[in-house]
Chains A and B, each alone.
Chain A
Amino acid sequence: MRNLIAFLRKYSFFFLFLGVEVLAFYLIFKNNHFQGSSFLNSTNALTGGIYTKYANIADYVHLKEVNDALSDENRRLRENQLQSYDRIFGENIMVDDTLYKKKYLYTKARVINNSTHRQNNYLTLSIGQNNGIENGMGVIGPNGVVGVVKNVSPNYASVLSVLHRESKISVKLKKSQYFGSMQWDGENYRMIGLKDIPNHVDLTEGDTVVTSGYSSIFPKGLHTAVIKTFEVPEGENFYKIKMQLLNDFRQLTYVYVLKNITSTEVQELEAGREEGDD
């Protein structure tokens, strides 16, 4: 017994070290959950406030790039407006606008903190619960998918970036409609991997990849990336594809948070289906 006490005393510092490490790792795992919400993150009032102040100053440096990106986006939107189209057969076709139903609401948000250099990257936005932001909403930039809201406080929101190793987005090839999932490998912040495309599909460099719309977080057909390189590893049935993201994550300043108005309906339906299978 005395030996045991002597042993514990001799290595007390080591045991303290182990104890504190266990606490630290508990924090790591507890906060790794996709939906795990906690007070200690970049969306609380203190850290969010400091980031906002900093962003207020730093934004001036990027004004030129931001203006370029916004005016480019405006140009694209104008191109797609009805005024830019001409009716093909004169007055013979009637376009009945009311057949369309609105599915997504957009909220504009400013990025006040952003990282691209870590293995798992997050963004912090300057809007939160008070602006109607909820967990699980999609976030898009001027050129496609940015991420999914992971954590919200009254005034700030934390976003799980596409540049996160656990983040998977359902996408499809615009040309052939084959779908796969987009996942980052943690190497280069401009490049992203595409999985689950079978090897009989015709691919060419520069093919556009768009969102599939299956997850209902993002609208269908959002241009997100272009294929850069592809190969079939020996003995496998699926391509190994590298794509370039259209968004430059280093330059993200303004993004849009999407609210899917019909998502509860879809979720209820799918939940009911799973119960029915039992």
Chain B
Amino acid sequence: MPKIAVEASGLSKKFGQFDAVKSIDFSVKEGEIFGFLGPNGAGKSTTINMLTTLLPVTGGRVTVSGFDVSRNPEEVRKRICLISQEGSADGDLTAEENLIFYGKLYHVPKNDLSGRVKRALSFVNLSEKKDVRVRFFSGGMRRRLEIAKVFVSDPKIVFLDEPTIGLDPQSREMIWKKVFEINRKSGITIFITTHYMQEAEALCNRIAIIDKGKIIAIGTPNELKKSIGISEICEFAVNERGEAPLENLLKRRGFSPELLSKGRMRVLSKKEGSEKIVSSDAKKAGASVSEFQTRRPNMEDVFLYYTGHDVRDSDSDGAQLTRNLAKNIRGG
């Protein structure tokens, strides 16, 4: 039975009349990477701020590394590292100076400090930039410097609040790699918030989907994907004349067909092998189909299913179509 790193029950936060977090329950096992996935304003940062003792809890309770956050904030602080969205490095200090200051805050023994800082900088590939003031760093370098803090203070749990927000794909992947390494090598528990589906899926052992201050679903990425009851999403091109008859056939099958732009159609299938079924239906309907693209449901589909809206809540064509998809799945 693995130990518990974070345990929240009925955790709530009110700002005046506004309920930012509404009685959430979850637990994070030691050594796992646990993600809070949700749109901006869902209550992710508020939750992380409560877990890291920055905001007082207004309802329920939560323990971090075995200590109650409200009653023993000092014990909690000793065991955690917070990597926040805004970053915490002082732009007027160099990378090395920032990490030394950080180590002193965490009472790292003097004879150990410079060695740890050196290793930390090399881990995030910033050794050559150690004497550069942080204000001249790019967004990616800043984020890496934040990650280096983990190797200086040696925490039990690392909290990452939107660690790759605003970064380019390369920097993002580099951060993911580093987070993985931290988790693998040292077995450090990682709690992460993100609104990137891909990030949650790539990094997390388990994900909690949070929306409007509530947790809607918790599970591993696979569990969550299975939970929506769709095993394949299949897209293909269809000739104009065959569109209507094929759509009718597929509808009867419960495939919730949808016409996309440029003569393409999409179906949702509860079983695998949708391509074969579509092909045989097309023959019956006298339609010609080609260019099949079959994929498994991703986190985006899962998110839509549970929240009924896209994470960005944009009204792009794709978002609109996937909204229909969510409706269809739920209706069926």
Physical interaction between A and B:
no
Interface residues, chain B, with chain A CB atoms under 8 Å away = none
Residues of A within 8 A of B (CB): none
